């Protein structure tokens, strides 16, 4: 990674503190294995496949946390240019608008400026992944029955960050010389969610043309 890129992706730009895996746990070992695959330059399509003999929930948990950290970082690099004035609606071009609902303050889908939506989104995900009842960190503690449902919702919402960044802020990513990094992260994410069928195909529509060029 170049010095310029290191400055772009420095820790101060991260939206929130990173969630880490505890050394010695099965999930830490899976995380290390997933990272080693990526660092070795292995084909991303192969890197996302569930390793033989491993639990799918563990594999999904590791990736959800990792994608949250990385997408958080990507949005952090452009967040000063994503304002209520530049992005009064959380959208992905003229055809797609995303409304926020969390069954707490926002009980109905509500149109919000992009930065407010992003803040609520990252806060909401952080609460999920730090909840021991959803993402247990102790060995032997089972995942809840609705674990994959929750992860699907998290990944679907993280995909919307990619949609907004690519359609409204990619010029800024290019200016920073970070497009290769963002594209690799997107490809990794796309291969993972399609390999394990974790996002509805219609949710992927906003980036369909770009994805076809990049991933096929």
Residue stretches of the annotated binding site for Zn(2+): 82, 87, 164, 169
Residue ranges at the known binding site: 82, 87, 164, 169
SS (H, E, C) the chain: CCHHHHHHCCHHHCCCCCCCCCCCCHHHHHHHHHHHHHHCCCCHHHHCCCCCCCCHHHHHHHHHHHHHHHHHHHHHHHHHHCCCCCCCCCECCCCCECCECCCCCCCCCECCCHHHHHHHHHHHHHHHHCCCCCCCCCCCCCCCCCHHHHHHHHHHHHHHHHHHHHHHCHHHHHHCCCHHHHHHHHHHHHHHHHHCCCCCHHHHHHHHHHHHHHHC
122 CB-contact burial (10 Å; exposed 0-12 / middle 13-18 / buried 19+): buried
């Amino acid at each position: 990674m170049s010095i310029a890129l290191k400055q772009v992706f420095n820790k101060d730009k991260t939206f929130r503190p990173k969630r880490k895996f505890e050394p010695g746990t099965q999930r830490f070992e899976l995380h290390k294995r997933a990272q080693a695959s990526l660092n070795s330059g292995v084909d991303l399509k192969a890197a996302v496949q569930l390793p033989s003999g491993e639990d799918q929930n563990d594999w999904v948990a590791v990736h959800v946390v990792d994608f949250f950290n990385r997408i958080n970082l990507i949005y952090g690099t452009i967040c000063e240019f994503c304002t209520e004035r530049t992005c009064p609606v959380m959208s992905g071009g003229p055809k797609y608008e995303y409304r926020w609902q969390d069954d707490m303050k926002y009980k109905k889908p509500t149109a919000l400026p992009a930065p407010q939506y992003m803040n609520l989104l990252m806060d909401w995900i952080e609460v999920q992944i730090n909840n021991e009842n959803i993402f247990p960190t102790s060995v032997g503690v089972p995942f809840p029955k609705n674990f994959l449902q929750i992860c699907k919702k998290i990944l679907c919402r993280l995909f919307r960050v990619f949609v907004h960044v690519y359609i409204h802020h990619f010029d800024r990513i290019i200016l920073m010389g970070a497009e290769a990094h963002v594209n690799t992260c997107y490809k990794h994410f796309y291969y993972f969610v399609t390999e394990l069928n974790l996002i509805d195909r219609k949710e992927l529509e906003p980036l369909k043309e770009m994805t076809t060029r990049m991933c096929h």
